[in-house]
A and B are shown apart, each in its own frame.
Chain A
């Protein structure tokens, strides 16, 4: 097989993998704060790309301003989902799959609102910088891939220092280790849960904005990306943000290799089989401890 083609796929795999990683980290942030797996995560990815598009075309905002507004909007929606859907169930000690179902229902509601408020047409955003791709021998690296990788690495570093150095970040880590003990130390556990949803929604929105120029966004694009993000989180060892990022890249690379080797139809089968392999043989993930 042509080596250039393999390298080219590798690059596109890594860049989409970074997006999966960001979505996966969103899962981890909420899971660590509450033990909840939020299946509405895909909705935030959709809001990111969709809101940026609407703000740019209908309100003529500059790209960067529209993107920041979209991220903030996703954060607000995250807080609303937490307050209106997750909180009441949390207070009633709902079973795990009730929570899964409720967040899925929230996903449907947000999807449908987007459909009613905007429309059902797929939309795309212009690349961040519209310059011809860099040529390295026979491979072309487009700038959007560089933006995706660069932004993702910056976000990981920022998140890392947030969790390690700030008071709020430390408090969130304390809650994830032991919520009751954290409450006894005077940490407002309930506010941390809301904050986790806001943070994770904003991460999802960033992922959505980064990926829309390379693909497209539509009201119903969230679920497939949420599933990929979830697989990334599982591969990394659930609850480990760095693991989710590595898992995302691994997933992206394997998917693009599957497209290259087996055809585009096998993209999802490869991803889901990878998930099953990890669940069966190493449920604690790459970074998890072996029991």
Chain B
């Protein structure tokens, strides 16, 4: 059961495509922009929800590189978000670093960890890979709980300063939303570039068939590791962003719930698409607010929706929009 290559390389990279209209894809971007715009203008509670959604969009973008472009599976990306988040939290509170160097330090730690973990783990395939990564995520969670001298256990670390460079500090809802939006757009652009580059073509080949990619002279294990490192770096970034935006971190933030939520987002949005992580994160974050009245039934509705989408729309929203475009131009 390998992932079909069609979900990972929807277009021949590097080639000029014939004139196709992107109404569907454009609509996805427009909807995302409208939601963020609404939050920017009206602020308030909606701004908080959308800010969380954007942080998740960052995290999911990383997952999307590893799962969508390279067709590997990791249930343990929360580990790298935790490393990034806790490094930022500890360095900016206990050692009074500025947010940006703290974030960079977190990134370095996450990359080192991903390198050490990726080496033995990425040799595994299928269920074994899924399980090993899940175990890594859960172990990181346990460490965050148990290593109380650094992480303060279940209590968590509070009083983390807001995002900022030099005199500029993102304190207001609008400033936070703007900073996060810019980061999400940059990431989306980067993923587009990666997808069309030599690197992206190698990822796509690995996704299609590891044996075939190897036969073509692609160093499969190296590209898997690179993809894993990119995903880990992005996850670490999202972890750091989270702690600075919320000002507080505890192990619960990076638990199994985060992984399941991120997987839902990447699937609802569309695995392997550029717009998918953003729209998926926005919709999954806002939906619970819509169903607020029926609090007890929220998770139930969420689980049922998830199953229905996996069965009937396995390529997600961006995938459906792309399919509409393809039909129109055919």
Residues of A at under 8 Å CB distance from B?
35, 37, 84-85, 88-89, 92-102, 104-106, 108-109, 111-113, 115-116, 223, 227, 230, 234, 238, 265-266, 268-269, 272-273, 275-276, 279-280, 283
Q: Is the CB of A272 within 8 A of B142?
A: yes
Q: Can you sample 14 A-B contacts with CB below 8 Å?
A: A89-B311, A95-B3, A95-B4, A96-B1, A97-B73, A101-B263, A108-B300, A109-B303, A115-B296, A227-B134, A234-B131, A272-B138, A272-B142, A275-B135
Which residue of B121, B131, B300 is within 8 Å of A116 (Cβ)? B300
Question: Closest 7 A-B residue pairs measured CB to CB?
Answer: A109-B303, A108-B303, A105-B306, A112-B300, A96-B1, A272-B135, A97-B73
B145 at the interface (CB under 8 A from A): yes
Please tell me if the beta carbons of A92 and B303 are within 8 angstroms of each other in the complex.
Answer: no
> Is B327 located at the chain interface by the 8 A CB criterion?
no
Which residues of B sit under 8 angstroms from A106, Cβ to Cβ? 303, 307
Min CB distance, A238 to chain B, in Å? 8
Asked if B128 contacts A283 (CB within 8 A), the reply is: yes
Interface, chain B (partner A; CB < 8 A)? 1-4, 67, 73, 120-121, 124, 126-128, 130-132, 134-136, 138-139, 142-143, 145-146, 256, 260, 263-264, 267, 296-297, 299-300, 302-304, 306-307, 310-311, 314
Which residues of the other chain, A, contact B299 by a CB distance below 8 angstroms? 108, 111-112
Given the known interface contacts A109-B304, A266-B146, the answer about A98 and B132 at a Cβ–Cβ threshold of 8 Å is: no
Q: Select from chain B the residue with minimum beta-carbon distance to A88.
A: B311
Chain A residues positioned under 8 Å from B136 (CB to CB): 276
Looking at the assembled complex, report how far the CB atom of B119 sits from the nearest CB atom of chain A, in whole angstroms. Answer: 10
Give Cα A113 to B299, complex, Å: 10
- Interface pair B314/A98, CB less than 8 Å apart: yes
Nearest CB on B from A82, distance (A): 13
Q: How far does the alpha carbon of A115 sit from the alpha carbon of B300 in the complex, in Å? A: 10
| Bound Cα distance from A85 to B297, whole angstroms | 19
CB distance from B79 to the nearest CB of A (A): 12
Distance in angstroms from B145 CB to nearest chain A CB is 7
- Return A168 CB to nearest CB of chain B, in Å: 26
State whether B1 touches A95 (Cβ < 8 A). Answer: yes
Picked from A116, A269, A279, A280, the residue with its CB within 8 Å of the CB of B143 is: A269
Q: Can you name the residue of chain A whose Cβ is closest to the Cβ of B67?
A: A97
Report Cα–Cα, A27/B54, bound state, in Å. 37
Among candidates B134, B146, B310, residue contacting A269 with C-beta atoms closer than 8 Å: B146
CB of A35 within 8 A of CB of B1, answer: yes
For residue B323, give the distance in angstroms from its CB to the closest CB of chain A.
15
Closest to A263 in B: B146
- Provide the bound-state CA to CA distance between A280 and B131, in Å: 11
Closest to B72 in A: A97
Q: Looking at the complex, which one of B2, B121, B310 makes contact with A101 (CB distance below 8 Å)?
A: B310
Residues A98 and B310 in contact in the complex (CB < 8 Å), given A276-B136, A279-B132: yes
B1 / chain A contacts, CB cutoff of 8 Å: 35, 93-96, 99
- Say yes or no: A265-B135 contact (C-beta < 8 A), given A35-B1, A116-B300, A279-B124: no
C-alpha gap A128/B256 in the complex (Å): 34
Among B139, B307, B311, B314, the most chain A Cβ lie within 10 Å of the Cβ of B307
Among A35, A102, A273, which residue has its beta carbon within 8 angstroms of that of B306? A102
A113, B300: Cβ atoms closer than 8 Å: yes
Knowing A109-B304, A223-B256, A265-B145, say if A89 contacts B130 (CB, 8 Å): no
Contacts of B267 in A (CB 8 A): 98, 101
Given A230-B131, A268-B138: A94 touches B145 (CB 8 Å cut-off): no
Cα of A104 to Cα of B304 in the assembled complex, Å: 11
- Closest approach, in angstroms, between the C-beta of B252 and any C-beta of chain A? 14
Bound-complex Cα distance A93 to B124 (A): 22
B-chain residues with CB within 8 Å of residue A99 when the two chains form the complex: 1
For A84, A104, A106, A111, the residue with the greatest tally of chain B CB atoms inside 10 Å of its CB is A104
Contacts of B310 in A (CB 8 A): 89, 94, 98, 101-102, 105
* Residue numbers in B under 8 Å from A98 (CB-CB): 267, 310, 314
Please, how many angstroms separate the alpha-carbon atoms of A84 and B307 in the complex?
9
- Note all chain A residues with C-beta closer than 8 A to B126: 96
